[in-house]
Amino acid sequence: MRKAFKGRPGVQFEVGDSAPDLMFADDSAVLGEDDTEATDILYDIARIAQSFGLQINAEKAKVLTTDGSPATVYLNGVQIEQVSEKLA
C-alpha cells in the first residue's frame, strides 16, 4: 500500500492533516478528491497487488461519496458499484 500511495497527499480532513486511505484487517477505504483520482489509485493498488499474486475483487468493491453525489470509478475496466451508505 505504501507504494500505491507514494506521493499522494490524500484527502485533507484538518488544516495540515490528510489521509490517503484507512485500513483495518483485510478492508481498506481509499480516499480521493474525485472519480479520476479514485480510479487511478485503484489501478495502482491492483497493479502492485498483482506482482504479489493478489487481486482486488471488483464485485466486492464499493464506491461511497461523502455528499451522496454520483461517482464513476473503474477497476480493470469494470465500473465499481456505488452505494448510498456504509455496508456492514
d(CA 36, CA 15): 24
DSSP state of 64: -
Q: What is the pLDDT of residue 22?
A: 62
How does residue 86 score in pLDDT terms, banded at 50, 70 and 90? low
**Three-class SS of residue 43?**
helix
> Which pLDDT tens digit goes with each residue over 21-79?
666 677 777 778 889 988 988 898 898 889 999 888 888 889 988 888 999 999 988 99
Determine if the pTM surpasses 0.75. no
What is the pLDDT at residue 29?
Answer: 78
